Each structure stands twice: as C-alpha cells, then as structure tokens.
Amino acid sequence: MSSWPESLGLGAMAKSSSLNVRVVEGRALPAKDVSGSSDPYCIVKVDDEVVARTATIWRSLSPFWGEEYTVHLPLDFHHLAFYVLDEDTVGHDDIIGKISLSREAITADPRGIDSWINLSHVDPDAEVQGEICLAVQMLEDVRGRCLRCHVLQARDLAPRDISGTSDPFARVFWGSQSLETSTIKKTRFPHWDEVLELREMPGPPSPLRVELWDWDMVGKNDFLGMVEFPPQVLQQNPPNGWFHLLPFPRAEEDSGGSLGALRLKVRLTEDRVLPSQYYQPLRELLMESVLGPAEEDAASPLAVLEELTSGDCRQELATKLVKLFLGQGLAGPFLDYLTRREVARTTDPNTLFRSNSLASKSMEQFLKLVGMPYLHEVLRPVINRVFEEKKYMELDPCKMDLGRTRRISFKGAPSEEHVREASLGLLTGYLGPIMDTIVGSVGRCPPAIRLAFKQLRQCVEERFPQAEHKDVKNLAISGFLFLRFFAPAILTPKLFDLRDQHADPQTRRSLLLLAKAVQSIGNLGQQLGQGKELWMAPLHPFLLQSISRVRDFLDQLVDVDGKEEPGGPARALVPPSVTVREGYLLKRKEEPAGLATRFAFKKRYFQLSGEMLSYSRSPECQTRSSMPVSHIRAVERVDEGAFQLPHVMQVVTQDGVGALHTTYLQCKNVNELNQWLSALRKASAPNPDKLAAWHPGAFRSAHWTCCLQAERSAAGCSRTHSAVTLGDWSDPLDPDAETQMVYRQLLLGRDRLRMKFLEDSTLDTTPEADTEKGSSATEGACPAALAHQREAAARLLEVLADLDQAHEEFQPQEQQKVAPGPLRP
C-alpha cells in the first residue's frame, strides 16, 4: 500500500450528513370533519424545527403525497418526527397523530426505513424540545458529600402558554432531596445562573435528575423536559455543558392503527469528508474513465459503479457523478461514456434507455440539474393557467361527470359528445401554447444539454443505422426530454418547483390528460391509437401535427457547434450572477419608530443570486436596494411572538466597520420560508465569520423578546442553523463530498473487483487460460486487453486503499479535537 506524501499533511476533515425523506401516502386516517372525511397534510420536523410541509389533500382518508425532501444537517441531530393534521378553514387545525423516529432507528438498517408505520397519539408531556446548560460538581467536606448543580440557562424550550412563550423553572432531584430555581416569566430562553446544593443522604448512590416545568397560576404546571445522569457519570465525568431535553421515559403507546398509518421512506447518509487533495487520485481515475474506450471497459471506477448500484442508490449516485463531472467541465464526455456502453449492450432498439440504468438516471439528473430554469421558462405560464382557470376537462366516457358539467357549463342535460367537444377545445387550448413554446425554445435550451443530445443522437445512429430504425435516434432524445422531463413536470408541477401546492383532484386530472398528450408526442406517434386509451382518439389530429413539428425541433436542437474539451474549465452549477430565487416578501427594518408591527412590514420583490440579495417595489422597478451575499453572517427563523406574525426570518449582515444589522422578512407559508432560508444559507455558505449563536426574537421596547436581555449587543441565546438546508437542483457543487460518496460505493465492489481481475493474476493470460477459468469478466478478451484491465483494477484498488489509510489517520485527529466533555444522557 502506498502512503500519502508528507507534504500533504493532515488538513481539516469536514462532516457531511443528509436526510432523504419521502412522505409517500397515508391510509385509514380518522374523519375529523362533519362531512365524514379529512383534509390531511403532514409536517416534517428535525429536532423540533419544521423543515417541510406537504400539500393538503382535500377530502381524503387515504391521501397520496409522494413528496420527497433532502435535508442537509449537522451530524448531531437527534430525531425526526412526522405530524399529520387536518386543515380547517376556521379555527385551529386538528392534530391526527404523529410518528417519531430516533436517529438510532433510522440508522439501524443501512438501507434506511421503507414501510408503513402506525400513527401514535400526541402526548403533550412527550412534546419536549430544547436544551439546558448545567455545570455539576461533586464536593466533600466534614459534613459529608455534597452535589453542587449550577443551573445556568436553557434555550429553545417548547411554548406552553397562549402567548407562544413559557414561564420556566428548574427542579433538581438527588436521592430524596429536591430544590427549585426561580421562575423566569414569558421566555423560552431563560437565564437562571443559580447554584443549588444538595447533601447526600444515607443509602445507595442516586442519579441526578433535572426537570424543567412551565409555571401556571391556574391549574397544574406543564412539563418542559428533563435530563438524568447515573451515579457513575456523576463520579467519573460530572456534567458540564449543554444537554438535550428528553421526555419522561414511558412505554411507546401503540394506537393499534386506530389513527391510521403513513408510508415513509427515510434514509440517513453520514460521512466525514477528507481534505480535497486526498481525493485527487480517485478523481483522476474517474476523469480518465470517460476519455477512454467505453464499450470494452470493465475495470474502471465507472464500470464498477455501473455494475454495483441499483434502485434509489443509483439515482443518488447519478446525481453525485453528474455534479462531479459538471464541476470538471466533463459532463458531456461522462454522459457519452455511459450512453455508449448502454447502446452497445442493447440489441432491441425498442428497449433503448427504457430501464433505470446508470446511463438513464445520469441523463435524467443532468436535465434536472442543468435544465430546471429552462423547464420553468417553458412550462410555468401554461401550468399557472391550468391551476388558476380550473376548467373541467375529460375525454374518458367512464370518468365523465355529466351532472357536474351541467352545473358549470351547460343548459339542460349535456351529452357525452358535448363534454368531449368542450374538453377537446380546452385541451388543445393548453397544449397549443405548450408545444409552441417548446418548439420555439431551441435558442433558450442550455448549450450543455444540446451538446449532450447531439452526442446521444450520433451514438444511437451509429448503432442502429438501418432504415427501419430511422426514428430511434430521435426517440432516444425525445424519451429523455419529453417522457422524463416535460411530462413528469406537467403531471406533478410541485415536485419540479413549478407550484407551491399540489393540484386539487379536478386540476390533477387535467394535468394528467395534458401529460399523456405530451408523452404521446414524445413517443413520436408510436402505438398511437393502440392500447386501452382509445378515448384519446379525438386528440390524434393535434398530436400528429405536433409530432411533425417536434421532429423538426429535435433536428434544430442538435444542430449546434462546439464540444466540451477534455479537461476544460470547471464551471459552477449556478453562475454567481444567475437568480436562484425570487418573489414577493414583506420586509421590516430593525426598529422603525412609531409604526405598529403590521404596518412596519412593506411588500417588496426580492431576487437572490450568488452575489447579491436585492429588492424593489416590483419586478419591473428600476430602483433597487441590495445587500451583498458576502456580508451575510446568519439567516435564521424568528419566533412568532416577536411580531405576533408567522413565517418570519431574519438576515443578519455585517457592515464595513463590523457592526451587525438585521433585516426581517415575512413569507406567506412555512414552505416558502424554508425555501428562502435554504437558498440564503447555501448562497452565504462560503462566508467567513458566521455567527454561532443569535437571537430568535427581536430587540423591541429595550429588550430582546426571546431571552429578555436588555442589551442589544447581548450574546445570542440560541444556536444558528447554517448547516440546515434543503437539497435541490441549485445545490452548490461540492467535489470532495461527491467523490467521498463515490469512494463509499466503490468499497462495496472492492472484493468483487479483486476476484474478477487480480485473484488469479499469476496464471497464464492467454485466451485459452481465460476460457479454462470460465471468467465471464474477461471472456473473449485478448491478452493485451486483459492485461490492461488488470492494471486498471490494480490502480483502482490501490487508490481505494490509500483513501482507507487516510480515513484511519484522521480518526485519532478527530478524537483529539473533541474535548472530554459531558456525557449526554
């Protein structure tokens, strides 16, 4: 095994953690409305912070959401929770039930969780959150042993009062003794700084338990959480630091399915990323792979990955590989390498790219990563029209609601023919602008996509040159662009960031009809008029006319000059000047004098790029104010109690003389809030001097509303969350994290690679010897090719061994950085 040069040294190891969550569907939910149904939606919380809210599915006890989120997290998160609620237009939403998953439960199976899980009742005493800061000492004097518990402060406690705050006090138990701190009124961030001393009583050693309670003048006090430390911890390593609050230990209540169930997919990916120079050899091997002959390759990293991966892992790997090669300016050669291997293996052109191979997934993810702004430009205007106009459209006679149509559009009893003609007019009225925009979008399609399709078409044309396969070259492109990009986005616009909410049932049916039509156009008329959906026949004349236009469009799309140069310049996925998020927000200055809270917020149109956060009265307004992204030091939520308003965030910036300034922005819902938080945090991620703590309240009436401190310059009372972001197409490129993921995948195939190419490397390398061995990996290979494959396999195994060694060398260094702090209960 080779070792790393001493000149590399040991830099800093970064930590990476991502939570992939898919809320699939629910079943057998209880009815909460007088109609005998419910309007369910789901809230996703990580350590009590809302990271996502699904759309509301109206009038359903078996809702289908199909919503997927990737949450980038710090490594020390504790639990994930799903709350199902019934939305009410009047009053508070009703809680149906919850599912809570600990970090340990999620990581018990490396493949994660994919199952139906029953909802449980929501117990207020179990709904605890926040942390407490303690310093404990064990002392001994002439009177015996004494425990001194310094209760300093707590943060992020659950709000128990109607005002959105609590009145917390701490109660300390040791043996048969207990003492209490004072009560701090109206805060979730209390500062006690009180020392409580308890004397040891006769008997066996006792644990230390600290409970937090919300004081109530009327009725019983509300539980806020607890921590407990066993006697051996008190003796060997007395607690000193911040500790996560826990509920009272109790057996998990099983509702027996009476509250229904959710089908969830959850997977946690955790890794420690080495300094960049350690990944360079593996990156070089990956880059070399795509620059060599693709068809005969069997031992390069990409060939091994292609054979190993499957399912959800293949999609994640495809995304990482596309981003890695995009960053190196080699996305074109990478896609060409995979498609050539796929095409070479395909004997029936009708099955080309129909499976979810690494080639298909890579092209699909490439379109999402590079083409999402293009998709939005093409589809958003018509998708918005469909949602806003809510027209009734139906061609299938089995699904026509003639009574509903009479109530909306007709006088008297309508016939199926009337409904069909009206629906046909509406459908073509939407499809026409869609197709006009698509076929006229050649100049707006990203050049990288056009170049990739040009290579794809050339490859397919070389493999299937026969006249009877003349359409295969076009089908290969339209299959990706129409069937895997445009049609899915029309069907589920929320999943492609085209809309904030899912469609209602009627609009969903309209979108399905439009998506079917676009899919038929993308299939270039194959099987048109065949199959079960003969009721689509009235659309056929329009589809056939559109297919002719699409063929011309595809010819123009691939008529592009230039190619990506091997080793060309690295590029950012989203250039700094490109707008990554925009929309109306309500903006408030730090301390507007004399204005009531609601009037202090002004509606402004915001635009965020990698360089600037700017705003104006409207998108067309030429007068704009701005703040450089490089000045941002924190982007955090604001407690509702600060302004008595929901969905408020704060952007903390630092000016040239070091002074901090806060801008408050209100979003219209929790999802928009999370998206802006995530976009701003990702844009400002490289900034130095980020704040580790800040105030979740506002400085009003000469004190902070969160912790009640009277100094504006008082240290922040809550941790910042710069590491918590939502993964999406605009995530910045991170070649080290991407290569680390590739390394982990390659480790799974290391033994197989060794068996295939190196286990019997001392044997004869003639074709006859290989035939006698019966090696499927090398069958038919000439001695020179076999020797080359064995050399490539040996290089790859050596690179993997070096990375193993680097990770081992970093483990002691990581452990030394962690001081021997308190044990968490």
CATH number of the domain encompassing residue 588 = 2.30.29.30
| 20 plus 163 within the same structural domain | no
Helices (H), 573-715: 597-600, 640-643, 670-683
Whole-number CA gyration radius for the chain: 31
| 205 plus 64 within the same structural domain | no
pLDDT in tens, 356-382: 889 999 999 999 989 998 999 999 999
Question: In the chain, helix, strand, coil percent, each to 5?
Answer: 40, 25, 40
487 assigned to some structural domain: yes
Number of Cβ within 10 Å of residue 272's Cβ equals 15
| 113 plus 148 within the same structural domain | no
| 97 plus 27 within the same structural domain | yes
Count of domains for the chain: 4
Per DSSP, the three-state class of 464 is: coil
Measured in whole angstroms, how far is the alpha carbon of residue 327 from the centre of its chain? Answer: 20
183 assigned to some structural domain: yes
Query: What integer is the mean pLDDT of 299-322?
Result: 80
| 139 plus 37 within the same structural domain | no
| 428 plus 558 within the same structural domain | yes
> Quick check: 760 and 769 in contact, CB under 8 A?
no
- With a pLDDT cut of 70, the percent of the chain lying above it is 86
pLDDT for 255 equals: 62
CA–CA gap between residue 126 and residue 221 (Å, rounded): 14
Pairing of strands 648-654, 632-638: antiparallel
Higher pLDDT residue, 598 or 640? 640
CA–CA gap between residue 206 and residue 225 (Å, rounded): 20
Query: What integer is the mean pLDDT of 260-286?
Result: 91
For the chain, the straight-line distance linking the first and the last C-alpha, in angstroms and rounded, comes to: 42
The enclosing domain of 451 has a CATH number of 1.10.506.10
pLDDT for 253 equals: 57
Query: What integer is the mean pLDDT of 285-297?
Result: 79
> Quick check: 706 and 718 in contact, CB under 8 A?
yes
- 334 to each of 132, 318, 353, 689, how far by Cα in Å? 51, 11, 16, 38
703 assigned to some structural domain: yes
Residue partners of 8: CB distance under 8 A and separation at least 6? 275, 277, 278
pLDDT for 823 equals: 35
338 assigned to some structural domain: no
pLDDT in tens, 332-355: 999 999 999 899 888 888 888 888
Region for 205 from its dihedrals, namely left if φ exceeds 0, alpha if ψ lies in -120 to 50, beta otherwise: beta
pLDDT for 534 equals: 85
Across all residues in the chain, what is the average pLDDT? 85
Element (H, E) at 616: strand 612-616
CA–CA gap between residue 653 and residue 676 (Å, rounded): 16
pLDDT bin (cut points 50, 70, 90) of residue 641 is: confident
Per DSSP, the three-state class of 133 is: strand
Per DSSP, the three-state class of 466 is: coil
- Residue 589 belongs to domain spanning: 581-727
pLDDT for 10 equals: 45
Number of Cβ within 10 Å of residue 644's Cβ equals 11
pLDDT bin (cut points 50, 70, 90) of residue 414 is: low
CA–CA gap between residue 84 and residue 121 (Å, rounded): 11
Per DSSP, the three-state class of 350 is: helix
| 706 plus 602 within the same structural domain | yes
> Quick check: 549 and 439 in contact, CB under 8 A?
yes
pLDDT bin (cut points 50, 70, 90) of residue 303 is: confident
pTM: 0.76
pLDDT for 790 equals: 83
Per DSSP, the three-state class of 587 is: strand
Measured in whole angstroms, how far is the alpha carbon of residue 46 from the centre of its chain? Answer: 13
> Quick check: 212 and 154 in contact, CB under 8 A?
yes
Instruction: Please determine, for residue 515, whether its predicted confidence score (pLDDT) is greater than 80.
Output: yes
755 assigned to some structural domain: no
Residue partners of 364: CB distance under 8 A and separation at least 6? 318, 480, 484, 485
| 163 plus 261 within the same structural domain | no
Query: What integer is the mean pLDDT of 275-303?
Result: 83
CA–CA gap between residue 68 and residue 674 (Å, rounded): 14
DSSP state of 125: G
Instruction: Name the β-bridge partners of 513.
Output: none
Residue partners of 719: CB distance under 8 A and separation at least 6? 155, 692, 693
pLDDT bin (cut points 50, 70, 90) of residue 569 is: very low
| 685 plus 611 within the same structural domain | yes
CA–CA gap between residue 635 and residue 145 (Å, rounded): 47
| 549 plus 652 within the same structural domain | no
pLDDT bin (cut points 50, 70, 90) of residue 39 is: very high
Please say which residue of 532, 564, 596 terminates a domain: 564
Range list of β-strands (E), 47-87: 49-53, 64-72, 79-86
Which token pair is 707? 């912790």
454 assigned to some structural domain: yes
Please say which residue of 236, 268, 300 terminates a domain: 268
pLDDT bin (cut points 50, 70, 90) of residue 18 is: confident
763 assigned to some structural domain: no
Residue partners of 372: CB distance under 8 A and separation at least 6? 496, 497, 729, 730
- 817 to each of 626, 811, 821, how far by Cα in Å? 40, 10, 11
DSSP state of 446: -
116 assigned to some structural domain: yes
> Quick check: 245 and 131 in contact, CB under 8 A?
yes
| 153 plus 114 within the same structural domain | no
Please say which residue of 514, 538, 564 terminates a domain: 564
Half-sphere exposure of 764 (CA within 13 A, CB side): 8
The enclosing domain of 184 has a CATH number of 2.60.40.150
| 436 plus 370 within the same structural domain | yes
